Amino acid sequence: MYLNITQKKIIKYSHGPCLVLAGAGSGKTRVVISKIIYLINVCKVKSENIVAITFTNKSAQEMQLQLIKHFKNCNNKIKVNISTFHSFGLRIIKSELFHLNLKANFSLLNQEDKLFLLKTFTKSVFKKNNDLLLKLSSKISYWKNKLIDPLNAKLKSITNLDKTFAMYYDLYQFHLNNFNKLDLDDLIFIPTLLLKNNASARLRWQKKVDYLLVDEYQDTNVIQYNLIKMLNPKNFTLVGDDDQSIYSWRGAEPKNLLFLKIDYPHLKIFKLEQNYRSSGRILKASNKLIANNLHIYKKSLITQLKYGSKIKILQNINEEYEAKNIAKEIVSHYKKFNTQFSDYAVLYRSNQQSKILESIFIKNHIPYNINNRTQFLKFFEIKILMNYLKFILNPNDNFYFLKVINVPGRKIGISTIKKLKSWAIKNNISLYKTCYNDNLEKILSKNKVKSLKKFIKWIKESIVLSDVQPMQIISHIIKNINYKNWLKESSKDLVEFKKNVKNISIFVNLINELLIGNSQHPQMTLSEIVSYLTLYEDVNVNRRSHLKGVFLMTLHASKGLEFPFVFIAGLEEGILPHYSSISQNNIEEERRLMYVGMTRAKKELTLTFANKRSNYGLTTLSKYSRFLLELPQEDLVWINQKNNFNSNILLNNSINRIKFLKKMLKLSK
């Protein structure tokens, strides 16, 4: 790998704390990978003692692949673990179960399960107030991210609402501990608390970590920073770009970078100033946009690449035409320049924008690649199977018992469940164990007891099967619960049924693939697979997977990636910048998001917006994004796709807009 002088200096600086602060496309990730290789080859650091962390599963995988490629001919077995913060936390938890008082088969709650659980606790008080429920859930996350346990949350709460929230936090945490469960925040909260309070565990981990590297460091929040600090206070390399900090809702802010300088006065700061990715014009426009934000550290970025073609701004009548025009542009460009579809990426602010793009792409036979895993696992036919797996792995978890007991129906009604629950509480045992009780007939009818016993017997067999022949388990569940028949009966029509069956077969293949392991994933146990699927949002289980297709993804997901031709869709006030940020006066974060999107482009960049957009069935007029006016207008070319513009535009008296309008008027004559 070719490296410039500064990159080489960073790599050789292996003793002491080091921060690389540099703009997009300046070779930071290349530095992380090269430094790992250098540490192993030259400094003779053992690969298992290097911890490398990044923020998305996708970048972790990509970095891992590059290392595998590099070391493939090496005689010694070299395995560097590139993790995300969460997967690294999971690793600490798994090897410290004893000290954490956890059993190995703990279950991991995803966000949806967390909400469901909180709902059951708060039902009588919050009634159907979803807003309160969401607030409670994020308050609990907030507390965990500040290392505050329920007791301290109670002590610190002043308002009545916070006191109520703290009480539910206590109840929730008690439930998690009791049923051997963790939520996603626990994956960082628990290891950090452990290392903070347990000196021997801390020492153990410090011995395991000789060198620490973090890519995308700007996304680190305070608790993650504490974890880093406790792991290895001496030798580390953190690389980041404060302009790409886009997770303030998780507590990551550019100003966190300042803590480092205070905690590590000898911190060596390096800056990389050459961009190797984007054309001069794209770089100039991105720099101009981000100059509107306040900066803690000054950076400058130059490129030696060509100046390149103008940035196109496509104006469209509505979101349907926006998608159509993007599709049209891609196809004609593809034909003209003989490119690959995978050279193109369409980025957007929210997942919801992808629907129309997908449908237009399907209609026009344009192959595309979308990371739909989050949605995929949300399909109810998949959720049910996941619940079965979670229950089989942790049968004493009442939560999953209740999720599966009547799906498909086993005629176990509410009153039976109530009786079971009160028996379980009285005897302090799980619902699963309650079903074993020989005295059940005292409280339930013969028929009910029979069907419960049958269910439990089957679960017991499944537990054994999951242990000895995990490859069989999903098919075993599907067959035994007569799943396909049940789905057929509950589907709206044959098309829906076929879709469900297809998804199920994708899921079965995925589980089996992960059980065997492949070039991208190591072999995993069933329990590891379930945590993995719960943890990662971006695993590749695409319904229409077509790696040769156009990439469709959110701006957040695009971080760290690069594509020759990039489209950013929905450049409208309310979308980018997003309503929520406008109302919270957090435009800078939206600008950083736009900067991330623009700097993904190597050769060409196209920005699009629609004059009208339907949202939840309501069509509203939209106004194009303020960010378009912050770009160097001489580097833009505005194209009105249908010569049909929104009168809103007239409201702005910017000279450029007037120029643009004149042009539009001329065109429409």
Tokens of 646: 């929104």
Binding of residue 25 to ligand ATP (CB under 6 A): yes
Asked if 367 contacts 550 with a C-beta cutoff of 8 angstroms, the reply is yes
The H or E element spanning position 608 is strand 601-615
Q: Check: CB of residue 114 under 8 Å from CB of residue 137.
A: yes
| Phi and psi torsions of 555, nearest 5° | -60, -40
- Residue 348: phi, psi to the nearest 5? -150, 165
Smallest distance, ligand ATP to C-beta of residue 25, A: 4
Q: Is 52 annotated as a binding residue?
A: no
Nearest approach in angstroms of CB 31 to ligand ATP is 7
Closer to Mg ion at the Cβ: 215 or 604? Answer: 215
Residues marked as catalytic: 28-29, 215-216, 244, 600
CB nearer to ligand ATP: pick between 198 and 274: 274
- Site track 513-532 with ligand ATP (rule: CB under 6 A), x = hit: --------------------
Identify which of 570, 543, 500 has the alpha carbon closest to the alpha carbon of residue 357.
Answer: 570
Q: Residue 276 binds what, of ligand ATP, Mg ion, none (CB under 5 to 8 Å, by partner type)? A: ligand ATP
Q: How many alpha carbons lie under 13 Å from residue 75 in its C-beta half-sphere? A: 0
Q: Is 22 annotated as a binding residue?
A: yes
Q: State the minimum distance, in angstroms, from the CB of residue 33 to ligand ATP.
A: 8
- Residue whose pair of structure tokens reads 């501990």 in the numeric block: 177
23 annotated as ligand-binding: yes
Q: How many residues bind ligand ATP (CB under 6 A)?
A: 19
Q: Considering only residues 264 through 293, tell me which ones interact with ligand ATP, judged by CB under 6 A.
A: 276-277
CA distance 506 to 610: 35
Q: The tokens of 194 are what?
A: 């452990």
Q: How many residues does the chain have?
A: 669
The reply to whether 25 sits in an annotated binding site is yes
Q: Scan residues 597-626 and list those touching ligand ATP (CB under 6 A).
A: 599
- Residue reference for tokens 């960073």: 10
Residues paired with residue 181 on neighbouring β-strands, in sequence order: 107
- The tokens for 521 are 């994933």
Applying the rule CB under 6 A, the residues between 98 and 137 that interact with ligand ATP are none
From candidates 560, 574, 577, 597, binder to ligand ATP by CB under 6 A: 560
Fill in the amino acid letter for 388.
Y
Shortest reach from residue 132's CB to ligand ATP, in Å: 39
Q: Which residues pair with 567 in a beta bridge?
A: 346, 606
293: Cβ–Cβ under 8 A, 6 or more apart, which residues? 243, 588, 591, 592
Task: Report the partner that residue 606 touches, choosing among Mg ion, ligand ATP, none (CB closer than 5 to 8 A by kind).
Answer: none
Q: What's the min distance (Å) between Cβ of 594 and ligand ATP?
A: 14
> Which residues contact Mg ion (rule: CB under 5 A)?
28-29, 560
Q: Which is nearer to ligand ATP, 476 or 602 (CB)?
A: 602
Closest residue to ligand ATP, based on beta-carbon distance: 27
Query: Closest separation between CB of residue 599 and ligand ATP, Å?
Result: 6
- Regarding 35 and contact with ligand ATP (CB under 6 A), the answer is no
Cβ-proximal residue to Mg ion, closest one: 29
Q: Interface with ligand ATP includes 4 (CB under 6 A)?
A: yes
Alpha-carbon distance of 645 to 660, in angstroms, equals 11
Task: Sketch the per residue contact string, 563 through 602, with ligand ATP: x for CB under 6 A, - otherwise.
Answer: ------------------------------------x---
In terms of C-beta density within 10 A (0-12 exposed, 13-18 middle, 19 or more buried), how is residue 632 classed?
middle
| Per-residue x/- track, 228-267, ligand ATP (CB under 6 A) | -------------x--x-----------------------
Site for ligand ATP in 436-495 (CB under 6 A): none
Q: Which stretch binds ligand ATP (CB under 6 A): 28-36, 104-112, 533-541, 567-575?
A: 28-36
162 or 562: whose CB is closer to ligand ATP?
562
- Please give the Cα distance from 401 to 391 (Å, whole number): 6
* Cα–Cα distance for residue pair 194/93, rounded to 1 Å: 9
Nearest to 276 by CA among 575, 4, 647: 4
Residue 27 near ligand ATP by CB under 6 A: yes
In 3D space, the residue among 299, 275, 326 whose CA is nearest the CA of residue 601 turns out to be 275
3-state secondary structure string across 183-228: ECCHHHHHHHHHHHHCHHHHHHHHHHCCEEEECCHHHCCHHHHHHH
28 marked as part of a ligand binding site: yes
Q: Name the site residues for ligand ATP (rule: CB under 6 A).
A: 2-4, 7, 22, 24-30, 241, 244, 276-277, 560, 562, 599
Residue ranges of the binding site: 22-29
Q: List binding-site positions for ATP.
A: 22-29
